[in-house]
Amino acid sequence: MNVKPTSFNGTGGFIALTRWFEKIESIFEICLCSEAEKVKYAACTFIDKALNWWNGRVKSLTLLVANSMGRENMKELLLAEYFPRGELQKLEHELLNLKMKGSDIAAYTSRFDDLALLCPRMVTPEYKKIERFIWRLTQLTT
């Protein structure tokens, strides 16, 4: 906890949750955190609404089970709780229909990259990401 991890309070939507995931993952790397300790460590950063949510999970699962669920399972639970399916569908729709405005390829690329991070299943494996990026560019130039 000496690295002063970012707290997660359960507000701010998917962007806040994604940024928290990124920060906590970098702390895991820096601190060489073992897989067995990652859920415990991440849970220590919850405050407010997120802490209430986690405490409810712990009560239903027991502390031993909650702490041993693994970070990917915890991540899935957090996404299900704080990133409603409807919000994800809006972002997927935006990615499908993303268009470059004028000749501003930098803005198009930046937004494409943001959406690709938020909608990984639409751009995985990497060749899908490349195809989707190029396909929209070719639609704009013809």
In tens digits, the chain (142 residues) has pLDDT values of 566 778 999 998 877 888 899 899 999 888 888 888 999 999 999 999 999 999 999 999 999 999 899 988 998 899 888 877 888 899 999 999 998 887 889 999 999 998 998 888 899 999 999 999 988 776 654 4
Q: What is the CA radius of gyration of the chain?
A: 18
Domain ranges of the chain: 13-82, 85-141
Whole-number pLDDT of residue 140: 56
pTM of the model: 0.64
Q: Rounded CA gap, 132 and 54, in Å?
A: 37
State the burial class of residue 135 (Cβ atoms within 10 Å of its Cβ: 0-12, 13-18, 19+): exposed
Q: Rounded CA gap, 126 and 8, in Å?
A: 30
Q: Answer yes or no: are the C-beta atoms of 122 and 132 closer than 8 Å.
A: yes
Whole-number pLDDT of residue 121: 87
Our CA dihedral for 122, 8, 110, 104, rounded to 10 degrees, sits at 120
Whole-number pLDDT of residue 84: 77
